[in-house]
Structure formats: structure tokens, C-alpha cells
Chains A and B, each alone.
Chain A
Amino acid sequence: MLDVQNLTFSYAPEQTPWTFSFQLEPGECIAIQGPSGSGKSTLMNLLAGFLTPRSGDLLWKGRSLLKTKPWERPITSVFQENNLFEHLNVLRNIGLGIHPGMKLSVAQQQAVENGLREVGLGGLGRRMPSELSGGQRQRVALLRALLRDQPLLLLDEPLTGLDAETRALLRSMLLQHKSRGTAIVLASHDEEDRQRLADTVWNL
């Protein structure tokens, strides 16, 4: 489904470029590990379309994504932080992920409410991000990503710094979506996250 073919990138011409090659099938999770600066976030940004590779190709179902804009790619990202719009409340932060003009059907609104309850944030929909803890914010970001229901999920240290209970809850949600066919690229320093979620671990 996702075929990364010798995708190369460097921030400066004199820098030795990173080269990435791997394939990912529906329902598969690849975990990437490596020290800071090893290229984990760079790979995520290349896949999402925030960076342009110097060479190589990125195929989705056999079609190149290189000229596809970030919003047209079948991808949703969850970053380690800064996922939420600080001036919008939780409901709007999630709703904008489903429709960029907040035009939500009744069923979609219901799904948001149910999702919030599922991640333990029932009744907090009108809170602003600044009124949430780090774990709560990350739950909102992940819920938004899951409700977007895109076939490829890019997770850049999504569970770092969260308490054990929240991590377990979010991991089980991710596993549910994975079992339904969502492919995941996970950048994580955490051994347990990699063991529970990943089918393959790739060292950078």
C-alpha cells in the first residue's frame, strides 16, 4: 500500500542525505527508533508532505504522492506537541479535523461526543486546550486523528510524557484501529510502545 522508494533528503547541500526505503501494508505498524537527530521527524515530515525529498519516490497504492499536497494525502499526523489550536475549544479542535469548515452532520457530532467519552474526556468538550493537562491534550489530538479515519497514521512520540493509565488507554485505541486496517508509522523512544504496537522495528 505505502511504498517508500529511496526517498532522500538533507537540510543543506553539504550534509550527507538521509535515505529511506520501506513498505507498509494495511493494518501494519512500523516503529522507528534512533537517537535525536537521526531523522525520525524528517521521515514523518517527508511522508506528510511538509518536506520535499531530493530524490526517490513515495507511492500510495502504486500512485506517486510526491506532488500531492498535505491535505490531499491519505495521512493524519499526531505530533509530540502543538497539535491543538490554542484559541479553539476541544470540540472545535476535533470538529475541524472532520470538516475544515466545521460543517458536521448530527452523526459526526455524536461520534465526537462518544469519542470524547471513550478517551475519558466526556463533558470537557468546551474546555480550551490551556485548561487541559498534557495527557488530556494528547488524547484530544489522537481522537481527532482517529476520527479523521485516514488509512495511514503518523505518530511522532505521541505517548511520551503521559501517565501509565493514559498510555494504556491510547495504545488500546490504536490497536483497535490497527486491527481495522489502519497502517501506522510510529516514532518512539519507548520500548513498551514499540513492543505493543509495532510489527517491525526499524533502527535509524
Chain B
Amino acid sequence: MAGRHDPVMHPPLSHPGWQTWPGAVFAMGILGLSLSGLGALIWQSPGVDITSLWHSSYLRGVIAFSFSQATLSVALSLFAAIPVARALDRHRNFAGRSLLLRLMELSLVLPTIVAISGLVAIYGRQGWLTPIISYLAPALDWNLYGLSGIVLAHVFFNAPLAARILLQSFENMPSQQRKLASQLGLGSLWLWRTIEWPAIRGILPGLAGLIFTLCFTSFAIVMTLGGGPSATTLEVAIYQALRFEFDFGRAALLALVQLLVCGSLWWVVVRHNTNAALMPNRVSQEHPSRRDSTGISHITDSLMLLFFSAFLVLPLAAIIWRGLPGLWDGQVSLLLPATLRSFAIALPAGALSVIVALLIVTASGSTRSRIISRLCDIAAHFPLIIPAIVMGTGLFLLLRPSLGTRYDGFALVALINALMALPFIVHLLRGPLQGLDGDTLKVADQLNIRGWYRWRWLHWPRLRKPLALSMAYGTALSLGDFGVIALFGTPAQPTLPVLLYQQLGSYQIASAAGTGLWIIALLLANFGMFNLLGRSPRLKESNHA
């Protein structure tokens, strides 16, 4: 065979610069875009008065409330998530377990505005469970609107996410330790002390940091369940300053506070290397039986999982129950154009997010420069801490001279949505893209499988499914967005979440439920479609050599 006498060929795109620079340029672009958005706000408001932060009781109240609701939400989410994750780890074969796991993953992409309509149906004034709560705990004086509702909604979204990530840590425990624990017949307390606590101890600070950030920057939940100035977060106050008071200075100031708080938190988290996984991966290992999976534990675990499932399922059931009649109630003429508008924003946003994430992860994994690697990591997480509304408004101010049509507004929304999805997509793609083991890389290097050929033959087969899933997540997050669109959308031409918000605001509860159900159906269709596209080409692989 040839080879011995052939000159060494250079596969397409095999120069190391192709791995690093596109991602690095995008990372710099993201940071530049975000900071210039913020800068534009400051530039437009010459009289930014930093002392107003402690002179204004309103601003002090907003900051204090943002902290208190986020802290409470973190505590309750973890309080619920840890025992649920333990129970799910202990019991691996009950009927409906995988359905419950999928439901827990859904919480990440379920549009907040849709979930809120379900929560209102269960815990609102006319809610299914409200009489029971009032009967069991009259002292609580239950009211969904205000701190209790905001925290409840945050727990609804974050407890499943936390439980799923903690479960993953339990599942990643070395199987030898599990076998040893099983053989020694360790009880629940000792299992916790010897293998479970060490397994999650490392990720808890990062996980708490993630939930705190998500709650601290919460917008749609506080906007709908906030109930007045006493229950307002920074993000909502920024929105109000921009939308109703046109006070760019105050918006910029509040955005800086948010950036400072969340940025410091992430800095601490990253510095201590306790960055929790944003998205759970699915793993399966051997799981020998445990002594604490029978008897009383079995009963308490079953009850806990039942309550937790009900907590997640009931709002969704309410949406379906109320939504089905509302779906046909003269809604089609509203839903179809809103659907088209939503997808016209969501599909480009998802695609952009996936492309940028891919480039950033590639750059971060291939560069030898610590600076570029750190730059990529910061850029990938930056959208989590800078308010989307601030970024959007800043960019709007910067681009205003050239923004003419409403399509430009939609393009801006798609861009911001893509950035907002970036941290999650980066996490989804990082494992598969950087997961080639050392031996495989050695063989690939020696066989000259580099550049485009490495992507084609080694990465693509492993990435096909995660890419499809990323596209599904990116599209879904944009499809359910009720942040930037609230600022830039026109009421006469709403996207689906804006339509739902309008219907909730005008007490068209049945129509709102119908719209909520329609959004959920679209999300499921979206995931189904991308799941089909991402199916493993195992059969094709075997037939086309």
C-alpha cells in the first residue's frame, strides 16, 4: 500500500488556529456585546447617582427582596432535592421512574409563564389545593401573590433541576463503593456519611450558586406573582425603569448591582472549582441493593416521591384540564400567527446558540492559552449574570439608528435569546466534544485524523445526538422566553408567551390555559422532532463503509 513514500497531507482546517480563533473571537464578541450594552445605558444617562442605592428606600427594598427570596428559594429547593435524589437513587426500578426523570428535566425548558398559569390553577385564589392549604395551615394566610408564590414557583423550577443533578452525582459514585456498602450492610445514616455526602459535597456550593443566580435574576415569575413594590427583584425593577420610567441611569445602576452580586458569586464558585453541572447527563451503572431501600425507608421514600411527583404533575395536569376547552375557543386565529412569530425567533436563536457554543467549547478545549480558555469560560457563563433586558436595551440604543422594521426587533430578540441559552448549550456539548480519551487521541494523531476529518469521523458521530438535544433546548428556551420580548415585542403582534401574558393579565383564564397547553404541545413536538434528527446512525454506519 502507499504511505511509505507519500508526502504528509494536511487535512482541511487542520491548522490549530481553526480550533481556537473562531471560538475566541465569538467569546470576545459576547463579552463586548454584553458590556457595550451596559455601557450604552450608562452613556445615555449622564446622571447616574450611586448614592441613590442607599438613599432610596425603594432600591434598598428591591435589593433586600432579591437577596431574601433567592436565599429562601435556594434553601427550600435543596431541602426538597436532596431527599428526592436519595430516594431516586435508592429505588431504581419502580414504574414511572424514567417518566419522573424526564419530567424533572422538562423543568429547565418549561416556559415560566406557562408553568405559572398551572401554578395559579393549583395554588391561586380559586386553586385546587388552596382550600386544603388554608384548612391545614390557617396561620399561613396563604396567598400565591408575593414572597410565598415567588418562592413556590422557584422551588417548582429549581428543585427538580437540583435533584436531577444530585442524582447524577450519586450515580457517578464508584460502583466498588456501592458494592462494599451493600456487603457491609450499612444503614441509611452511615451510607449518607460514608458515600453519599462525599459524592455531593463538592457540587453543592456550585449548585446553590446556580440556583441563587437563577432566582436572583428571575423575571417572569416575579413579574407575574410579584404583587407590587414590596415584592420586586432587580431584574423586574430594571424592566420597570426601562419600560415605564425611561430611566436608563437607574436601570444601568441596578444592572451593575446584579452583575456585581452574581459575578462575585460565580467567581467564588469557579475559583473553588465547584461549578455544578448546569444540565444533567444520563449515566447508568451497576447498583447493588441497599439495606436502607426496604422497610420504613421504602414507605417514606415512596410517599416523598409521590408528593414530589404530584407537586410537578398537578400544575401540568391543570394546564391540560383547563387548556383543552380553551384551545378551541376561537383561539386558532390568535395562536397560529403567534406560533409562526415564536418559531421565526426561536429557530434562528437555537441554531445561533448551538453554533456559538460549539465554537467556544472547541476553542476552550484546544487552546494552550489559559487566557483564551478563561475568556471562553467567562463568555459562556456571562449571559447568566447580565440581565437580558439590559443587554437588549443597550444594544437597541447602540443600533437604534439602523433599526427600522419590527423584523430588526425580532432579530435582536433572537440574538439575546441565543446568548441566554448559551450557558446551558455549552454544558450540553462540552462533555461529548471534549470527551475523547487519551488513547483515541493518540491513535487519531498518528493516523493524521485532524481538522475537518477529526470533526467528521470522531466528533460528529458522538455529537449528533447532543447537538440535536442542544438545538431542542436552545429553541425551547427561546420559544418560552418572556424576558426580552416583553420589552421589544409589540402587543399587537405577540409571540406565544406574550399572548399568554396578555390573556392572564386580562383574566381570560380559559384562553390562557389553552395557549399554555399549545406551548407545551409545541415544546414536546420540538423535542420529538430534534430527537428524531439526532437518532444514532448506527444502521447507516453498518451499511455504508
Contact = CB atoms under 8 A, between A and B. Distances in A.
Contacts of B457: 85, 88, 92, 96, 100, 102
Contacts of A50: 442, 445
B542 A126 contact: yes
Contact of B447 (A100, A126, A127, A149): A100
Contacts of B462: 87
A91 B445 CA distance: 19
B446 A100 contact: no
Interface in B1-27: 1-4, 8-9, 11
A96 B1 contact: no
Q: Mostly helix, strand, loop or mixed at chain B's interface?
A: helix
A111 interface: yes
Interface in A11-48: 48
Interface residues of B, number: 30
B526 interface: no
A72 B8 CA distance: 6
B446 A48 contact: yes
A149 B445 contact: no
Contacts of B437: 82
B443 A89 contact: no
A50 B8 CA distance: 18
Contacts of A48: 442, 446
Contacts of A82: 437, 439-440, 443
B36 interface: no
Contact of A71 (B439, B445, B456, B541): B445
Contacts of A167: none
A92 B457 CA distance: 9
A147 interface: yes
A100 B453 contact: yes
Contact of A100 (B440, B448, B541, B545): B448
A123 to B, nearest CB: 12
B543 interface: yes
Contacts of B444: 85
Contacts of B458: 85
A84 to B, nearest CB: 8
Interface in A73-118: 73-77, 79, 81-83, 85, 87-92, 95-98, 100-102, 108, 111
A162 interface: no
B512 to A, nearest CB: 46
A71 B8 contact: yes
A76 B446 contact: yes
Nearest to A109: B545
A77 B439 CA distance: 11
A90 B545 CA distance: 9
Q: Mostly helix, strand, loop or mixed at chain A's interface?
A: loop
A151 interface: yes
Nearest to A151: B4
A135 interface: no
Nearest to A81: B439
A61 interface: no
Given A48-B446, A79-B439, A100-B450, A148 B461 contact: no
Interface in A43-59: 48-50
A50 B437 CA distance: 14
A75 B442 CA distance: 12
A8 B3 CA distance: 30
A81 B438 CA distance: 12
B72 interface: no
Nearest to A147: B1
Contact of B3 (A72, A77, A98): A98
Interface string A56-74: 0000000000000111111
A83 B447 CA distance: 11
A24 to B, nearest CB: 16
A195 to B, nearest CB: 28
B449 A96 contact: yes
A110 to B, nearest CB: 11
Given A82-B437, A85-B457, A92-B457, A71 B542 contact: no
Given A96-B457, A148-B3, 15 more contacts: A50-B442, A69-B445, A79-B442, A82-B439, A82-B440, A87-B462, A89-B541, A89-B545, A92-B545, A98-B2, A100-B447, A100-B450, A100-B457, A111-B1, A128-B541
The 10 closest A-B pairs by CB, nearest first: A91-B545, A71-B448, A82-B439, A149-B3, A70-B445, A100-B448, A100-B449, A100-B453, A149-B1, A87-B461
Interface of A: 48-50, 69-77, 79, 81-83, 85, 87-92, 95-98, 100-102, 108, 111, 125-128, 147-151
